[in-house]
């Protein structure tokens, strides 16, 4: 029954590595395998490759100079390095502000820091997933060491006004540092730290068609960072470990391609996302839009199917070759549903049946048409299994369908 | 991706006996919408007590639907008292096993079956207020946990989360769950030990932890008899005449044995005639 079709609508989880990325990486495995730190030309070639890549990533996020870019192994490492690295100094400044909807790779660092004696303020979001920025401003005080806000949310795609936030935060306390987790923004929208006061910003290659296992961290030149990984002199002494040359080269290529395809994100990807979203909402009476933030990345939609459960929806979609992900508890093995949807106050009726669809430049109109044709019957089938027949009927009545 | 058995996949893809029975003779419910899974089970029972039809409606994941579906197949044709003997373990086994994190789905099936049978016999289900709620995230009571720990031989807090969901939300009740595990499993330990094993164990503890302390004060202790959790001992040497010997017995001897064997141990002093 498993379908040979593959319709990949889970690009916020990871993306297909672009063939052109693979191509530029290949020589750095078996041909140019020298250590970039070596003195001879064979190693030096790799040092140059890293330098060129750093220049590309610098331009990709709009940094001022190459020294502001550190290569890491993941978005999680970027976040851990930034947060831990900037906090190590003054323990009297023990206050941190973040949001309730950060990715676990950021959120769990703060949970840990709370155990280590930091006070953390978690700003809330509204029912559309938009950040209540006033809560951040109200919380900033002279003890605030760090404010940490994601650029775009992975589950809803909501874009947070990080530039405005950093400006306001710095006007209240100029010494407060600001970290921006831009993992879900990079490659989807244009990032330009140059004109902002953002101190640190993290990205991850595999979210924009580079392979898994490579990330980058922007650290403004005026920011002192204590390294997380201590050892050799690499990355200006801020991240020890022999550089992962092929992956660095690959991520740089992916960044170039992302810039080249930025208009595709804004046009084709957005068009297809909107087509999928409006199509599902109009065809399925128990579908409700969770991701209703007014500013969103172009590729993400999050839809709650009321009175049915997310894992079951995903399993049935898998059978017809459609890949997406769910905010339901059951899919992750944890028993708690998505902290993001809970923070938004999504009603229980839709919370467990929430599905995130995330597209990419590879998504085609045929695929979206296929999804629109085949998802509604699945939902209909699952509605029939639900014990909430009366509630479903009521929903139908309210929509004027019976 | 879960490592579901072929049978689980077959049942969530093609669930059997979906729906409701208009004139059901019994209805049982388990779980809730807010907890993320819920099962409604409908039974038709003939005058001989045979379950002639069963239907279900489930809000839940693949394994929840599969557990419900297979349960209906397992009970149709059975006498209601036979059906009552079905355990959650059997539901999971019939499905070719469930991932550990999904065992709670089989527990939910079993719970709904119990509720339906209680409904059939017009038995009263223990009102919730009388019972202590342990997990507020998933509304799980103490007595339910004790039963599941006993029936499924659960050993760790993780086991309890996998089977009952309790502790799987905010996690605040995990300490409490750990206490319940200890108390249920401690009782079991006493039940399991034969009298000879018990005597050997007590003597070992006396030798290792108790006698050395008493000897320091010129006294000693001797085990006379064991009657379930009542342990008869005789003090000797200077302990016999010490006016604080009763304190020694409860605060030291009894406490030490309770710590090593069972909370319910009682020390009875046998005096010289």
Q: Is A48 exposed, middle or buried, given 0-12, 13-18 or 19+ CB atoms closer than 10 A?
A: exposed
For position A334, what pLDDT does the model report? 65
Residue A316 confidence (pLDDT) above 60: yes
What's the pLDDT at A344?
96
Q: Average pLDDT, stretch B143-166?
A: 90
Q: What is the pLDDT of residues A339-382, one digit of tens each?
A: 999 999 999 999 999 999 999 999 999 999 999 999 999 999 99
Q: What ranges do the domains of chain B cover?
A: 1-124, 126-192, 195-269
C-beta atoms of B57 and A311 within 8 A: no
Q: Does residue A196 sit in helix, strand or coil?
A: coil
Percent of chain A at pLDDT > 90 equals: 93
A199 and A288 within one domain: no
Q: Which of A300-314, B20-34, B233-247 has the lowest mean pLDDT?
A: B233-247
Q: How far apart are CA B192 and CA B184, in angstroms?
A: 13
Helices and strands of chain B, counted as H and E runs: 12, 8
> What is the arithmetic mean of pLDDT over B162-178?
88
Confirm if A187 and A258 have CB atoms less than 8 A apart. yes
Per the prediction, chain A carries an average pLDDT of 95
Q: State how far the Cα of A163 lies from the Cα of A196, in Å rounded to an integer.
A: 6
Confidence category of residue B262, pLDDT binned at 50, 70, 90: confident
Using the 3D structure, point to which of A242, A260, A278 is the last residue of a domain: A260
Residue A320 has a pLDDT of 95
Which of A226, A241, A260 finishes a domain? A260
Q: Report CA Rg, chain B.
A: 25
The DSSP symbol for A160 reads P
Q: Which of B26, B9, B151 is nearest to B67 (CA)?
A: B9
Residue from the list B15, B168, B169 with its beta carbon closest to the beta carbon of A385:
B15
The confidence score (pLDDT) of residue A21 equals 98
pLDDT at B191 over 80: no
H or E segment at A58? helix A41-61
pLDDT class for B123, splitting at 50, 70, 90? confident
Query: Is position A330 annotated as part of the catalytic site?
Result: yes
Q: What are phi and psi of A187, to 5 degrees?
A: 90, -15
Overall average pLDDT of the A178-197 stretch:
96
Least confident of A333-337, B84-88, B222-226, B249-253: A333-337
Average pLDDT over residues B173-180: 90
* Residue B260 C-beta-side C-alpha neighbours within 13 Å: 15
Min CA distance, A305 vs chain B (Å)? 12
Instruction: Name which of A169-178, A277-286, B240-249 the model is least confident about.
Output: B240-249
Give the pLDDT confidence score for residue B67 in this predicted structure.
Answer: 96
- How large is the average pLDDT for residues B254-261? 85
Residues A255, A287, single domain; the answer is: no
Burial of A231 from C-beta contacts in 10 A (0-12 / 13-18 / 19+): exposed
**Number of DSSP helices (H) and strands (E) in chain A, helices first:** 15, 13
Catalytic residue among A330, A339, A342, A391: A330
Whether residue B248 lies within 8 A of chain A, CB to CB, comes out as: no
Domain holding A303, by residue range, is: 7-15+263-398
For A38-45, the CB contacts below 8 A with 24+ separation are none
Q: What is d(CA A174, CA A197) in angstroms, rounded to the nearest whole number?
A: 10
Nearest CA in chain B to A330: B61
Assess contact for A302 and A355: CB atoms under 8 A: yes
The reply to whether A234 and A156 lie within a common domain is: yes
The neighbour count for residue B27, using CB atoms within 10 Å, is 16
Instruction: Give the right CATH number for B126-192 from 2.30.29.30, 1.10.3720.10, 1.10.10.1100, 3.40.140.10.
Output: 1.10.10.1100
Mean pLDDT of B246-252: 84
- Average of per-residue pLDDT across B201-208: 88
Is A388 part of the contact surface with chain B (CB cutoff 8 Å)?
A: yes
**Domain B1-124 grouped into CATH 3.10.20.30:** no
In whole angstroms, what is the distance from residue A306 CA to residue B17 CA? 22
pLDDT tens profile A30-43 = 999 999 999 999 99
Closest by alpha carbon to B222, among B238, B209, B206, B243?
B206
* pLDDT for position A264: 96
Which residues in chain A are closer than 8 Å to B33, comparing Cβ atoms?
A: 307, 348-349, 352, 388
Q: Are residues A270 and A179 in the same domain?
A: no
What pLDDT score was predicted for residue A332? 59
| Surface-to-core class of residue A195, CB atoms within 10 Å of its CB (0-12 exposed, 13-18 middle, 19+ buried) | exposed
ipTM score of complex: 0.88
DSSP B137: T
Q: Best residue in B21, B30, B33, B38 to probe A by mutation, most A CBs within 10 Å? A: B33
* Domain identity same for A241 and A279: no
Per 3-state DSSP, what percentage of chain B is helix, strand, and coil (rounded to 5)? 50, 20, 30
pLDDT band at A327; cut points 50, 70, 90: confident
Query: When comparing pLDDT for B165 and A169, which is higher?
Result: A169
| Percentage of residues of chain B with pLDDT beyond 70 | 95
Instruction: Give chain A positions within 8 Å (CB) of B18.
Output: 384-385
- Res A158: pLDDT: 97
Give me the pLDDT at residue A42, please.
92
Check if B27 contacts A (Cβ < 8 Å): no
- Inter-chain touch A386–B58, beta carbons under 8 Å: yes
Q: Which CATH number do you get for residue A326?
A: 3.90.1150.10
Interface of B with A in 149-178 (CB under 8 A): 161, 165, 168-170
- A109, part of any domain: yes
Return the minimum-mean-pLDDT range out of A93-102, B70-79, B142-151: B142-151
Say if residue A383 is in the same domain as residue A325. yes
Residue A333: predicted pLDDT: 59
Same domain (yes/no): A202, A230: yes
Q: Is residue A21 part of a domain?
A: no
Residues A118 and A162 in one domain: yes
Residue A349 lies in a domain: yes
- Between B252 and A113, name the one with better pLDDT: A113
Q: Are strands A215-219 and A69-72 parallel, antiparallel or unpaired?
A: antiparallel
Q: From CA A152, how far away is CA A160, in angstroms rounded?
A: 6
Question: How would residue B49 be classed by pLDDT, with cut points 50, 70 and 90?
Answer: very high
- Angstrom distances, CA of residue B227 to CA of A95, A277, B136, B184, B223: 60, 72, 40, 20, 12
- Given a cut of 90, whether residue B230 has pLDDT beyond it is no
Q: Return the top range by mean pLDDT from A73-77, B1-5, B242-246.
A: A73-77
What would the mean pLDDT of B115-139 be, rounded to a whole number? Answer: 82
- How crowded is residue A208: how many other Cβ atoms within 10 Å of its Cβ? 27
Given a contact cutoff of 8 angstroms between Cβ atoms, the answer to whether A247 and A22 are in contact is no
- A23 in any annotated domain: no
A115 shares a domain with A249: yes
d(C-alpha A148, C-alpha B46), whole Å: 65
In the stretch 367-386 of chain A, residues with CB closer than 8 A to chain B read 384-386
Residues A350 and A287: their CA atoms lie apart, in Å, by 8
Structural element, H or E, at residue A178: strand A177-181
CB pairs under 8 A between A and B: 76
The CATH classification number of B195-269 equals 3.30.300.130
| Domain limit, last residue, from A210, A225, A260 | A260
The separation between the first and the last C-alpha atoms of chain B, rounded to the nearest angstrom, is: 72
Residue A173 lies in a domain: yes
> What beta strand segments (E) does A39-90 contain?
69-72
CA distances from A116 to A63, A88, B102 (A): 32, 12, 34
Average pLDDT over chain B, rounded to an integer: 88
Q: Give the whole-angstrom CA distance, residue B231 versus residue B212.
A: 19
Question: With contact defined as beta carbons under 8 Å apart, do B66 and B95 qualify?
Answer: yes
**Per-residue confidence band for A1, with pLDDT thresholds at 50, 70 and 90:** very low
A390 three-class SS: helix
pLDDT in the model for residue B128: 54
Say if residues A147 and A135 touch (Cβ distance below 8 Å): no
Question: Comparing A181 with B249, which gets the higher pLDDT?
Answer: A181
Distances, alpha carbon B120 to alpha carbons A243, B70, B273, in Å: 69, 21, 61
pLDDT tens per residue across span A199-226: 999 999 999 999 999 999 999 999 999 9
Whether residues A179 and A244 fall in one domain = yes
Q: Is there a contact between B190 and B230 (Cβ–Cβ < 8 Å)?
A: no
Number of structural domains, chain A?
A: 2
Is residue A232 domain-shared with residue A371, that is, in the same domain?
A: no
Whether A210 and A17 have beta carbons less than 8 Å apart is answered as yes
pLDDT of residue A9: 97
pLDDT tens per residue, range A377-399: 999 999 999 999 999 999 999 98
Q: What is the rounded distance in angstroms from the CA atom of residue A207 to the CA atom of residue A300?
A: 13
């Amino acid at each position: 029954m498993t379908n040979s079709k593959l319709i990949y609508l889970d690009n916020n989880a990871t993306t297909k590595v672009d063939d052109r990325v693979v191509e530029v990486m290949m020589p750095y495995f078996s041909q140019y395998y020298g250590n970039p730190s070596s003195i001879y030309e064979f190693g030096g070639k790799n040092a140059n490759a890293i330098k060129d890549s750093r220049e590309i990533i610098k331009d990709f996020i709009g940094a001022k100079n190459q020294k502001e870019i550190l290569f890491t192994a993941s978005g999680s490492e970027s976040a851990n390095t930034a947060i831990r690295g900037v906090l190590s100094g003054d323990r009297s400044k023990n206050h941190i502000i973040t949001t309730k909807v950060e990715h676990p790779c950021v959120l769990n660092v703060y949970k840990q820091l709370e155990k280590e004696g930091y006070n953390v303020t978690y700003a809330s979001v509204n029912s559309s997933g938009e950040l209540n920025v006033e809560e951040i401003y109200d919380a900033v005080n002279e003890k605030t060491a760090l404010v940490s806000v994601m650029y775009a949310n992975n589950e809803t795609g909501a874009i947070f006004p990080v530039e405005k936030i950093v400006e306001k935060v710095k006007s209240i306390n100029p010494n407060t540092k600001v970290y921006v987790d831009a993992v879900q923004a990079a490659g989807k929208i244009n990032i330009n730290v140059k004109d902002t006061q953002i101190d640190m910003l993290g990205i991850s290659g595999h979210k924009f068609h580079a392979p898994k296992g490579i990330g980058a961290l922007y650290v403004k030149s005026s920011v002192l960072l204590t390294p997380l990984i201590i050892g050799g002199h690499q990355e200006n002494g801020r991240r020890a470990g022999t550089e992962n040359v092929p992956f660095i080269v690959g991520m740089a290529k992916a960044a170039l391609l992302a810039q080249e395809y930025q208009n595709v994100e804004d046009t084709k990807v957005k068009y297809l996302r909107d087509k999928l979203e409006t199509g599902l909402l109009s065809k399925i009476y128990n579908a409700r839009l969770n991701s209703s933030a007014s500013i969103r990345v172009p590729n993400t939609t999050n839809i709650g199917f009321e009175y049915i459960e997310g894992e079951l929806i995903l399993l049935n979609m898998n059978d017809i070759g459609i890949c997406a992900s769910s905010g339901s508890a059951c899919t992750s093995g944890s028993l708690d549903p998505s902290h993001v949807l809970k923070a938004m106050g999504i009603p229980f009726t839709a919370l467990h049946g929430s599905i995130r669809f995330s597209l990419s430049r590879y998504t085609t109109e045929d695929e979206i048409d296929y999804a629109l044709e085949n998802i509604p019957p699945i939902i209909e089938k699952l509605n029939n299994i639900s014990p909430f027949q009366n509630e479903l009927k009521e929903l139908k009545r309210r929509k004027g369908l019976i | 991706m879960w490592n579901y058995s072929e049978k689980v996949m077959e049942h969530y893809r093609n669930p059997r006996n979906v729906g409701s029975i208009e004139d059901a003779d019994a209805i049982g419910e388990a779980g809730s919408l807010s907890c993320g899974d819920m099962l409604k089970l409908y039974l038709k029972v003939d005058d001989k007590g045979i379950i002639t039809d069963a239907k279900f409606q489930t809000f839940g994941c693949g394994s929840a639907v599969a557990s419900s579906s297979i349960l209906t197949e397992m009970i149709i044709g059975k006498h209601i008292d036979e059906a009552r003997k079905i355990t959650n373990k059997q539901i999971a086994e019939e499905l070719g096993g469930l991932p550990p994190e999904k065992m709670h789905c089989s527990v939910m099936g079993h719970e709904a079956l119990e509720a339906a049978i209680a409904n059939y016999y017009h038995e009263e289900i223990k009102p919730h207020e009388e019972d202590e709620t342990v997990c507020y995230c998933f509304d799980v009571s103490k007595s339910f946990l004790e039963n599941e720990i006993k029936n499924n031989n659960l050993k760790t807090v993780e086991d309890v989360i996998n089977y009952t969901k309790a502790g799987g939300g905010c996690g605040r009740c995990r300490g409490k769950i750990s206490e319940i595990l200890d108390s249920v499993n401690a009782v079991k330990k006493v039940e399991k030990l034969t009298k000879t094993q018990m005597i050997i164990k007590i003597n070992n503890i006396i030798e290792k932890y108790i006698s050395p302390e008493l000897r320091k004060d010129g006294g000693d202790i001797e085990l006379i008899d064991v009657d379930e959790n009542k342990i008869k001992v005789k003090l000797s040497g200077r302990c016999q005449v010490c006016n604080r010997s009763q304190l020694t017995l409860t605060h030291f001897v009894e406490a030490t044995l309770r710590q090593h064997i069972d909370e319910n141990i009682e020390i009875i002093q046998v005096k010289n005639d």
